[in-house]
Amino acid sequence: MDKESLKFLEKLMNLPSPSGYEQKVRLAWLAEMKKISDEVKSDVHGNAIAVLNPGTRPRIMLAGHMDELGFQVAYIHEKGYIYFNRLGGFDIGIIPGRKVRIHTKKGEILGVIGKKAIHLLDKEEREKVP
């Protein structure tokens, strides 16, 4: 992979794109594809499409996803704990220990998702699905 392509891929990977909020990635991808495509567009569903040599054969499609695992802040406790809801569907068991970037009007805040330590859980809490 050439340096320019690698730089573009790194840019895409670092843009936030939680499910339902893929606009930044879509716009960056479309802008880059304008440089090398005959036609670029997006549709009502959020798909981003680039066309080379329209009307010729063979027709080839490359497809991928723009979204990533994401969360939406639901509540901030007075002690600073942040409660959130998941965006998209994924296994809740993979969430603890994840690094997160919280996007605010004043910029990003870095964080880590935690959970109560196993030795502090009572029997009922241990048997509960997270």
Quick: pLDDT tens for 105-125. Answer: 999 999 999 888 889 999 888
* Distance (Å) of CA 36 to CA 28, 55, 62, 89, 118: 14, 17, 15, 34, 53
Instruction: For residue 68, give the DSSP letter.
Output: B
As a whole number of angstroms, the longest Cα–Cα distance in the chain is 66
Q: Which segments of the chain are extended strands (E)?
A: 39-42, 48-51, 70-76, 82-87, 99-104, 107-112
Quote the tokens at residue 31: 């802008």
Show me where the domains of the chain are located.
Answer: 3-51, 70-120
User: pTM, whole model, 2 decimals?
Assistant: 0.76
pLDDT score, position 94: 85
Q: Is the pLDDT of residue 129 over 80?
A: no
Tokens representing 51 are 């066309």
The pLDDT assigned to 72 comes to 93
**Residue 22, pLDDT score:** 93
User: pLDDT of 48-87, one tens digit each?
Assistant: 999 999 999 988 888 888 998 899 999 999 998 899 999 9
pLDDT average, residue stretch 92-116 = 90
**Token pair for 24:** 């930044």
